[in-house]
Every structure is written in structure tokens, then in C-alpha cells.
Amino acid sequence: MEMDKDKSGGTPGASWTSPTKKAKPSTEQPTEHQEERIWMDPNALSVDCGICFMPFEAEVFMHAPTCCPIAGCAYIGELQHLHRHLLDGHADFVVPVAGLKATAKVTLRKADPFRVLVMAMAKGSTPSVFLLVNGGGVLAGRSLSLVCLGPCRPEGDEGETRYKMEVYGGEPGVIWMKGTAPCVRRLEGFEAKKFLFVPDADWGPSGSVSVSIRIG
């Protein structure tokens, strides 16, 4: 069973795509002793590169300071190194994913706020870091969803990576959903617009469920 959360109840800006604003040439005509000036919008979140025609923001995003999502960890580093920190320093929290189209098996406890998935990519590419989010805010159960901390590689609708999630719990049968993983910088303040509802009964006496996730 899948549920779409009321958009009016979400937190604005939980997941977003930065607008690209192009530099605007000055309307003033340069004199023979002046060079033509380019005015930059101070509110622009990214600038188009006139040479490669790609947003400069993507490169900055890779080198921007990124915090480790594990509670109590003070690590701050570049996004491109986050996967190595997680694998080396928090192996118990990490589930490796062989790559796109591969399926990961996760044992999720009801008390776990999330589990980390590190997806291997082609040689030379930085592995992507995903979080299987175990959210609250629903009656008599939990809400499961997937987000990408980056690097984000557009695979599905609206530039988000597609996935399929299946949950096997204490009750007969399986509950599942298909969705897209939004790219977020941090989990704080994030509320999923779409999630898989897992009733309390499915968590069983062990307080855990088995989750199967196929990314891509």
C-alpha cells in the first residue's frame, strides 16, 4: 500500500532544484576606454558556463562541505568523499549496492531513523549515497522512503532516481511501492511527499522488517 502525503503538510524546501540564472550583459554601451561589463545577479544560485554550457553549480555541489548523517559524528568533508567515510567509519550502518538495477536487502529496525545505502558506479565515478528513511508522522505505523544525498544522477522523472521498495514483515504477503528518490543536502527538516506505509503489525515481535530496494 502506498500513500501520497498531503503537499500542504510538507516542509517547504525539503527537496528542491536550484534555478539556473544566466548572467545578463550590461545595457550600458562601453566607451573606447572601457571594457564591456557583465552584471551578475547576486541572488543567482548557479551560473551557466559559456564554454562548456553546463551549470557551474554541479561542480560546486561536489566540493561543498557535507556532514555525515550518522548522529554524533562530527565529520564534515566534500560530498565526493562521503561514501568512503561511511564505509570506513560506519560499516555497521551501511548496506552496499552493487550498482544501478541491483537489489539491496536491508533489515530495518523500527527504532532506526534510517539506513545508509552506498551504490557503486562505473569505474572513475563517485558512488552515490542513499538513505532509507524510516519516518514517523503517521498513525499506527511507520513511513518508509528513499532519498539521495548525492552525487545525484538523473535517471527518472523530474531528474530523480527511480526505485522500487518491497517490505516483508510479520504479516503474510508483501507491501511495495515505486517512486523517485529526491536529492537532498541533509535529512533535517525533510518530509517525504510519497512514502510506503508499514503498519505496526508488520514489525512483529522482533520490531524489524526486511526491505528489498532496487535502484534505477
Q: What is the pTM of this model?
A: 0.69
* Dihedral sign from CA coordinates of 180, 183, 186, 192: negative
Helix (H) / strand (E) element for 215: namely: strand 208-215
Say how far apart CA 213 and CA 178 lie, in whole Å: 10
Top pLDDT among 77 and 40 is at 77
pLDDT at 86 over 70: yes
Residue 109 within any structural domain of the chain = yes
Parent domain of 130: 92-215
Q: How far is CA 50 from CA 36, 44, 61, in A?
A: 16, 16, 19
Those residues with Cβ within 8 angstroms of residue 159's Cβ, 6 or more apart along the chain or in another chain: 17, 152, 183
Q: pLDDT tens digits for 131-147?
A: 999 998 899 999 999 99
Contact (Cβ atoms closer than 8 angstroms) between residue 23 and residue 37: no
* Residue 2 maps to a domain: no
Total domains, the chain: 1
Is 46 within a domain? Answer: no
75: pLDDT strictly greater than 70: yes
Residue 194 domain-assigned? yes
Does residue 97 sit within a domain? yes
Q: CATH no. for residue 144?
A: 2.60.210
Contact criterion met (CB below 8 Å) for 93 and 72: no
Q: Is the pLDDT assigned to residue 18 strictly greater than 70? A: no
Mean pLDDT confidence for 40-60: 46
Instruction: Kindly state whether residue 83 falls inside one of the protein's structural domains.
Output: no
User: How confident is the model at residue 129, as a pLDDT?
Assistant: 93
- Kindly report the backbone phi and psi dihedral angles of residue 59, in degrees, each rounded to the nearest multiple of 5, phi listed first: -70, -40
Classify residue 144: in a domain, yes or no. yes
In a domain, 18, yes or no: no
